[in-house]
């Protein structure tokens, strides 16, 4: 097995505080849950459970618990699986008991978060498993839902992927429009170094000539954008370890093994977070006591 490339950075940690949860709940509850408030008395206890309705990788249970606990601080939450576990359809994920109004009112918000995160983790794990044995590691992008980037990236890490930059501030990514504005790769790199001398720099390239210019500029990482696998392999040979290489563009299940076989360090996949297929989880209420 080839030695995996070192991560770009440690995984991004999410922050789930009461104010953030309140914003999520306010979007759904607003002036009140008219249905639940009508059919359940205040304090009526409920026993419920979550069940997986598909095969996949679980993520977002901690965030879901935080949603329910914001509505019922005394909630009894008992996970049957851990974050990152691969489960089969029909697997019981968590059992919990609490105030019925909290369990039903928080259901959709909690499920939305967990289903999205589990969907991302599942997709990521699928790609990670597909290229097992190769050096390349699966990398996420900034193509995330505004306000949920930390959760999207946390889910990628849970699925076995690697987090790329958190935003525009922690890595200089010189893309085609920057290159055009600066008048070339060399000029763009010089401008970034003058503005932020300590920042790591990645440059987007589409040809081997552009790769050579980026290498001559001494950048830390180079994106190989929409290159054919044979061109990527030539880029790996030409680079000879002088910079880390990221393959990007039109990556899918049909071509990812061929891309990984070129020897690149990372393969970035925007679809992990911009085209999420939510993982199907069902909440089942087992008992309501008056």
Considering only residues 174 and 4, tell me which one the structure prediction assigns the higher pLDDT.
174
Confidence check: pLDDT of 164 > 70 = yes
Q: In this structure, what is the dihedral angle of CA atoms 213, 215, 216, 218, given to the nearest 10 degrees?
A: 130
Q: What are 7-24's pLDDT values in tens digits?
A: 555 456 667 899 999 999
H helices of 131-228, in order, are 149-158, 176-182, 185-195, 208-216
Would you call 204 a catalytic residue per the annotation? yes
CB of 118 within 8 A of CB of 155? yes
Other residues' Cβ atoms within 10 Å of the Cβ of residue 208: 15
Q: According to CATH, what is the number of the domain 18-123+277-288?
A: 3.90.1170.20
The residue annotated as part of the active site, out of 63, 225, 246, 265, is 225
The pLDDT, as a whole number, for residue 43 is 85
Would you call 53 a catalytic residue per the annotation? no
The pLDDT, as a whole number, for residue 227 is 97
Q: Are strands 221-225 and 201-205 parallel, antiparallel or unpaired?
A: parallel
Would you call 97 a catalytic residue per the annotation? no
Query: What residues have CB less than 8 Å from 42, skipping those under 6 apart?
Result: 99, 101
The residue annotated as part of the active site, out of 11, 20, 143, 193, is 143
For 170, phi then psi, to 5°, come to: -110, 0
Range 160-171 average pLDDT: 96
The residue annotated as part of the active site, out of 53, 175, 238, 287, is 175
The pLDDT, as a whole number, for residue 254 is 95
The H or E element that residue 120 is part of is helix 107-130
Q: What are 37-88's pLDDT values in tens digits?
A: 999 998 899 999 999 999 999 999 999 999 999 999 999 999 999 999 999 9
Domain chopping of the chain, boundaries: 18-123+277-288, 130-274
Would you call 65 a catalytic residue per the annotation? no
The residue annotated as part of the active site, out of 108, 142, 193, 242, is 108
Q: What are 119-161's pLDDT values in tens digits?
A: 999 999 999 999 999 999 999 999 999 999 999 999 999 999 9
Task: Provide Rg for the chain, Cα atoms.
Answer: 23
β-strand partners of 288: 46
Measured CA to CA, the distance from residue 198 to residue 200 in angstroms comes to 7
Q: Are strands 76-79 and 92-99 parallel, antiparallel or unpaired?
A: antiparallel
Q: Does domain 130-274 have CATH number 1.10.1060.10?
A: no
The residue annotated as part of the active site, out of 65, 83, 204, 246, is 204
Would you call 20 a catalytic residue per the annotation? no
CB of 66 within 8 A of CB of 96? no
Q: CATH topology of 18-123+277-288 equal to that of 130-274?
A: no
């Amino acid at each position: 097995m080839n030695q995996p490339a070192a991560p770009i950075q440690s995984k991004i940690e999410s922050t789930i505080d009461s104010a953030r949860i309140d914003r999520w709940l306010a979007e759904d509850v607003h002036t009140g849950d008219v249905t639940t408030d009508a059919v359940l008395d205040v304090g009526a206890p409920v026993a419920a459970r979550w069940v997986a309705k598909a095969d996949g990788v679980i993520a977002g249970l901690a965030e879901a618990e935080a949603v329910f606990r914001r509505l019922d601080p005394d909630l009894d939450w008992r996970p049957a699986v851990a974050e990152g576990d691969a489960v089969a359809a029909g697997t019981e994920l968590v059992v919990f008991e609490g105030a019925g109004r909290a369990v039903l009112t928080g259901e959709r918000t909690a499920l939305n978060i967990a289903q999205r995160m589990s969907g991302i983790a599942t997709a990521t794990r699928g790609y990670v498993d597909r290229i097992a044995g190769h050096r390349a590691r699966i990398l996420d992008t900034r193509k995330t839902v505004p306000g949920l980037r930390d959760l999207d990236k946390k889910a990628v890490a849970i699925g076995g992927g690697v987090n790329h930059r958190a935003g525009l501030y922690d890595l200089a990514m010189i893309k085609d429009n920057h290159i055009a504005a600066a008048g070339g790769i060399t000029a763009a790199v010089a401008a970034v170094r003058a503005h932020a001398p300590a920042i790591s720099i990645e440059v987007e390239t589409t040809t081997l000539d552009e790769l050579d210019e980026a290498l001559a500029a001494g950048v830390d990482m180079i994106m190989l954008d929409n290159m054919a696998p044979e061109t990527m392999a030539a880029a790996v040979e030409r680079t000879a370890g002088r910079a880390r290489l990221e393959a990007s563009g039109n990556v899918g299940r049909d071509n990812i093994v061929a891309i990984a076989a070129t020897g690149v360090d990372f393969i970035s996949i925007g679809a992990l977070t911009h085209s999420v297929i939510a993982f199907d989880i069902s909440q089942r209420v087992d008992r309501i006591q008056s």
